[in-house]
Each structure stands twice: as structure tokens, then as C-alpha cells.
Amino acid sequence: MKTEKNLADGFAGESQANIKYLAFAKKAEAEGYTQAAKLFRAAAEAEMIHAHSHLNALGKVKTTADNLQAAIAGETYEFSEMYPQFLADAKTEENTTAAIRSFTLANEAEKVHAKLYQKALTSLDTKENFDYYLCTICGHIHEGSAPDACPICGAKAQAYKKF
């Protein structure tokens, strides 16, 4: 169905715009352009609204258990198929050191994400309550408290953001 494909394409485009504009805002702020940074952040939020609307119209937001299963499947695909292929491709090309590092860190973090989603699904009705800590360098997520050093990229505890 054409509308379903258009919603999926719209979701992908709006999601990418959201992330791109957040990166642009970070760069603008680092360069001292606070007004441009504010505009990029506002636009990023608008793109997220559009992406959520498209995802809901596709019927892809379901029960929490269903959503956790979808997240497990997505993360597992990324670390078992997508990133290994990306890494293999990058290793055959020149000047891909940054790409190889990016793919490697993401691949290792996705493995952890899948395990955390599985644990959340298994314990969904237990009403556990603890914090998660996100390594702002590589995307590793840790339960409970920030580790002294990231097990993936080696960043210090200060690089972790609490959720």
C-alpha cells in the first residue's frame, strides 16, 4: 500500500532530521551561535512530533511488551547482521578509521541494549525501579550506577548521563 510506504518513509526522514538537527544545534552552540542552536533544537522537536505521528499512524506503537520485543529484534539485527556487514565493508575501503570505530562502538552497545530490553521484558510486571546510566561517548547503557570506566570505550564515570 502506497500510504503505508509513505508513512514509513516519512517516519525515517523525520527521524533522521531530528537527529541531524540536534547534531547541528550542538555544533552551533560550540561555535557560539546560540540563536541558531535554539532554532535547530526547536526544529528537531518538531521533526520528532512528525515522526511519532507517522509511527502511530503505521500502528507500530503497541503494548509495552510488544514494543520491548520489537526493540529486542531491532537491536539483535543491528549487532548480528547490520554492523558486522558495515564493519566488513569499511575494512575493505581506505580512510574509514572513524567509520570502523563508530560501527564497532555501536555494535558493542547494541548487544548490551538487547540484553537490557530482554531483562525489562522478563521483569515487566515486577515493578523494579533503578536508574540507567548512558555513556555519552559510545552509547553503552549500565544499570544501577555509572561504572568507573565504560566497558566498551573506556570513558570515565563522568561521561555517563543518568536516566
Domain boundaries, the chain: 2-57, 63-125, 130-163
Domain 63-125's class?
Answer: mainly alpha
Is the pLDDT at 118 greater than 90, yes or no?
A: yes
CA-angle at 82, arms to 4 and 21, nearest 5°? 65
Q: What is the mean pLDDT of residues 14-21?
A: 98
pLDDT greater than 90 at residue 102: yes
Choice between 128 and 51, residue whose per-residue pLDDT is larger: 51
How much is the pLDDT for 128? 87
Q: Which CATH architecture has domain 130-163?
A: Single Sheet (2.20)
Q: Say whether 130-163 and 2-57 share the same fold.
A: no
pLDDT digits (tens, 9 = 90+) for 146-163: 999 999 999 999 999 999
Residue 136 has pLDDT above 90, yes or no: yes
Assigned architecture for domain 2-57: Up-down Bundle (1.20)
Report yes or no on whether pTM surpasses 0.85.
Answer: yes
For the stretch 22-59, pLDDT in tens is 999 999 999 999 999 999 999 999 999 999 999 999 99
Question: Is pLDDT above 90 for 127?
Answer: no
Query: Looking at residue 13, what is its pLDDT?
Result: 98
